[in-house]
Structure 1
Amino acid sequence: MNKILNKTLKFNNGLEIPQIGLGTYELVDEQETLASIKAALKAGYKHIDTASIYNNHKIIAQAIKESGVERKTLFITSKVWNSHSKYEQAKQAIDEILKELEIDYIDLLLIHWPTEDRLECWKALEEALDQGKVKSIGVSNFQVHHLKELLENCRVKPVINQIELHPALQNLEVVKFCQANDILVESWGTMIRGKCFEVDELKLLAKKYNKSEAQICLRWALQLGYIIIPKSSKPVRVIDNIQIEDFELTNEDIQLIGTIKQQRVGPDPDNFDF
């Protein structure tokens, strides 16, 4: 098994999360998704990231069953969608996630986006934590002002913030705030949603290390201490995404990546209304 899959980071509650996971965004074709997840589990991935809105909880449950991997060896993340951010709706959503994934507890549950009802939703997550339905709770796509509001009102501090984070959106203000407040940072869109192949600086480094531009992005995020959840519907790429432990980016390489023009490839959390 690839040793890099054994790397973990510690939450502020003392529990650990594998630094690399399998993302499942837009993986909805049953056969493709089954193949991708089973290839990942066979390769030694322990962390699977999903969400209610992805509509693939049941396929993930089936893949885990068919792979024969023990539930207790896995780390499963899911997220409560915006339409269920009110307190009672969030409680219902949590039970639905458990049912669809066919599990007794969720390792990590996140608020997917900072909706108007985010504090109500957080209360439901805190209660799910008390009830043992969830092991750790966090947020996704929260900006600094959302995090400040949550920290002023929460009973349980978030363990993580999963944000759009890649060489073309380094999100330093949010990253620094999270690090200062002992909140882990998780990157989504690490490979710039496939646009990494168009970036000259990444092309240069890919040539230097005989790696793909995608692998350069993943190595960059790994070295900076972020959790990464690359996804692919193709089993061969699921394996390629973890072939990043045999090289190390230099400080000069990191500085070069820091000069890449910054742009979002996903929605702006402050102007997101669906």
Structure 2
Amino acid sequence: MSNILKEKYKMNNGIMIPKVGLGTYKLTSEQECIDVIKEAINIGYQLIDTAKIYENHKTIAKALKECNYKREDLFITSKIWNSDHKYEDTKKAIDLILEELNLDYIDLLLIHWPTEYRLECYKALEEAVDDGKVKSIGVSNFQKHHLDELMQNCRIKPVINQIELHPALRNKEVVDACKKYNILVESWGTMIRGKCFEIKEIQDIAKKYNKTEAQVCLRWAYELGYIIIPKSSKLKRILENIQIEDFSLTKEDLLLIEGIEEFRDGPDPDNFNF
């Protein structure tokens, strides 16, 4: 197992989470998804990130059934989709996720986007922790004002905020809010969904270290203390995504990245309420 796959952060509830995991967005082809999950676990990945909207819970369950692993050695994250954010709908969604994944508990469950019913959803998540269905709860795509509101209303503190975060969206305001509340930051879209290969500053840094542009982005997020969950359907890439330990970014590299004009590649969390 790569050393990087053994590294973990302690969340604010005392539970440990791997620093690097496998994203499964768009892994909907059944055999491809099964092969990827099995290969990743065989390599040493422990964190698997999925979501209801990815429509691959049942396939992931099949893959896990074919793997030789101890449940306590895996960390499974899923998310409640926007249409299930009313209190009763969330409770039903949690039970369905457990059923689809064929698990007794979920390690981490997130609100996928901050819809108008986000506080209702979070209340149901808190009760799922009480019931032992979920070990840890958090949020995804929450802006600073969403976090401020949640912290004034929650009983159980969120452990994670999973946000779009990459060299072209440093998201300082949200990152600072997470630090203030002792919430870990998890990066999605770390490689800018492939657009990293088109950005000159990242190209130059990659050439300097004989690394890929994707590896530069992952190293950037890793060095800044963000959890990373790169997705790939290819074994070569799954391996490449953890081969970021043999170089470090200099102050000059980081300044170069800071100079990249920021843009959001995914939806705007303040205007994504469906």
What is aligned with 1:232? 232
3-state SS in 2 of match to 1:237: helix
Structure 1 residue 159 corresponds to structure 2 residue 159: yes
What is aligned with 2:102? 102
Task: Give the counterpart letter for 1:39 in structure 2.
Answer: E
- Distance in structure 2 (CA, Å) of the matches to 1:36 and 1:208: 31
**Which region of structure 1 is more displaced relative to structure 2, 242-251 or 61-70?**
61-70
What is aligned with 1:50? 50
What is aligned with 2:140? 140
Task: Give the counterpart letter for 1:7 in structure 2.
Answer: E
Structural RMSD (CA): 0.7
* Cα deviation digits, residues 29-80 of structure 1 (max 9, x gap): 0111111111111110000000001000111111111122222210000000
Q: TM-score, normalization: structure 1?
A: 0.99
Task: Give the counterpart letter for 2:67 in structure 1.
Answer: S
Q: Which runs of 4+ in 1 moved over 3 A?
A: none
Task: Give the counterpart letter for 1:179 in structure 2.
Answer: K
- Distance in structure 2 (CA, Å) of the matches to 1:69 and 1:29: 23
3-state SS in 2 of match to 1:67: coil
Q: What is the Cα deviation at residue 273 of structure 1?
A: 3.0
- Distance in structure 1 (CA, Å) of the matches to 2:61 and 2:82: 23
Task: Give the counterpart letter for 1:129 in structure 2.
Answer: V
Give ranges in structure 2 of 5+ residues lacking alignment.
none
* Cα deviation digits, residues 201-251 of structure 1 (max 9, x gap): 000011000000000000000000000000011121111100101111112
Q: What is the Cα deviation at residue 98 of structure 1?
A: 0.5
Give ranges in structure 1 of 5+ residues lacking alignment.
none
Contact 2:116 2:273 in 1 (8 A): no
- Distance in structure 2 (CA, Å) of the matches to 1:72 and 1:144: 33
- Distance in structure 1 (CA, Å) of the matches to 2:235 and 2:133: 31
Task: Give the counterpart letter for 1:100 in structure 2.
Answer: E
- Distance in structure 1 (CA, Å) of the matches to 2:113 and 2:91: 16
What is aligned with 2:3? 3
What is aligned with 1:38? 38
- Distance in structure 2 (CA, Å) of the matches to 1:212 and 1:38: 25
Q: How does 1:235-254 map to 2 (within 5 A)?
A: 235-254=235-254
- Distance in structure 1 (CA, Å) of the matches to 2:123 and 2:152: 13
Task: Give the counterpart letter for 1:184 in structure 2.
Answer: L
What is aligned with 1:79? 79
- Distance in structure 2 (CA, Å) of the matches to 1:92 and 1:202: 44
Structure 1 residue 123 corresponds to structure 2 residue 108: no
Contact 1:166 1:187 in 2 (8 A): yes
What is aligned with 2:207? 207
- Distance in structure 2 (CA, Å) of the matches to 1:159 and 1:273: 23
- Distance in structure 2 (CA, Å) of the matches to 1:265 and 1:60: 27
- Distance in structure 1 (CA, Å) of the matches to 2:244 and 2:16: 21
Q: TM-score, normalization: structure 2?
A: 0.99
Percent identical among aligned pairs is 68
Task: Give the counterpart letter for 1:132 in structure 2.
Answer: G
What is aligned with 1:218? 218
What is aligned with 2:193? 193
Q: What is the Cα deviation at residue 140 of structure 1?
A: 0.2
Q: What is the Cα deviation at residue 124 of structure 1?
A: 0.2
Task: Give the counterpart letter for 1:212 in structure 2.
Answer: T
3-state SS in 1 of match to 2:163: strand
Contact 1:98 1:106 in 2 (8 A): yes
Task: Give the counterpart letter for 2:8 in structure 1.
Answer: T
- Distance in structure 1 (CA, Å) of the matches to 2:85 and 2:228: 25
Contact 2:170 2:262 in 1 (8 A): yes
